[in-house]
Structure 1
Amino acid sequence: MKKILVAAVLLFAGIASTFAGDRERPIAVDKLPAVAQQFLAAHFKGLTVAFAVEDPKFIGSEYEVTYTDRTEVDFRSDGEWSSVERKYEAVPASVVPAQIQEYVAKSNFPNQYIRKIERNKYTWEIELSNGLEIKFDRQFNVIGFDD
């Protein structure tokens, strides 16, 4: 019985160590999932790609594309975008839901623009050019601020 337990622990440790390391690897943009390629073509056509990386996970892979102006776009394994960050300009309005655009426009944030947007299954989060982070639920109700 001890031998089986020791073998199971060693097997699990081997599998865990295989997936624990930093395994990002370069990937050509045309090897990204089709949905990701379409998103990039639609929203960032005029920019030059600096590099793209694939980050294999236990199931599937995640992707990150970085442009020469330091714009970063992250994608989930299905090719859907999970975050867009621009260092020096606003995130394209076509990426930001209308409800969030309206909230920023009507709020007390004059002359601010959205420089980062993230989404997951339950929430949306934006970062304004002044560093203020605003979190929304799935119905685009504000649920938190962080400066």
Structure 2
Amino acid sequence: MKKTFLTLFLMTTMFGAAYADGREKPTSVDKLPQAAQEFLSAHFKDLTVAYAVEEQKYTGKEYEVVYTDRTEVEFRSDGQWESVGRKYSPVPASIVPQPIQTFVSGSNYPGQFIRQIDRNAYTWEVELSNGLEIKFDNQFNVIDIDD
């Protein structure tokens, strides 16, 4: 009986937490934070928006914008970009820090381009067109390479 009660309690708790963290609702680009709108107009003005989503998290809202060419951009609640991914094209060079560009475009990975870039408070991570993932610390030192 105790096992059954504990199992039900844990399942209810997990489902409640999953529901509270991750409620998505459609939105439009003009309802995104100003910083996000400026970022999109500066780097993706020629693309067509497929949809935009606002997701309520415990820490605030997060946003995702998806374009018809399968470009995806994620933003934090303050409108700063967190992730940019493109399916068939390189991410805009203007958002890639110079040390990362130099490392990738030098003799290390000729012919490859960055198709995904993620950043957080501690690291930067890029995925190249060949699927290789490279993680950098905040000083842009390579800390991991994963194929």
Deviation, structure 1 residue 58: 1.6
State how 1:1-147 maps to structure 2 within 5 Å: 16=17, 19-20=20-21, 22-147=22-147
RMSD across aligned positions (CA):
1.8
How far, CA to CA, are the matches of 2:76 and 2:18 in structure 1? 22
Sequence identity, in percent? 65
Task: Name the CA distance, whole Å, in 2 between partners of 1:114 and 1:103.
Answer: 11
CA distance in 1, matches of 2:44, 2:18: 37
Shift of 1:107: 3.3
Rate the CA distance shift 1:101–1:17 in 2: closer, same or farther, 3 A. closer
What is the CA-CA distance between 1:108 and the residue it aligns to?
Answer: 2.3
Q: Secondary structure at the match of 2:66?
A: strand
1:15 CA drift (Å): 7.0
Distance in 2, Cα, partners of 1:34 & 1:82: 15
Distance 1:99 1:143 in 2: 14
Q: Which runs of 4+ in 1 moved over 6 A?
A: none
Q: TM-score, normalised by structure 2?
A: 0.87
Aligned amino acid, residue 134 of structure 2: I
In the alignment, structure 1 segments of 5+ residues that lack a partner are 1-8
Q: Give the count of matched residue pairs.
A: 136
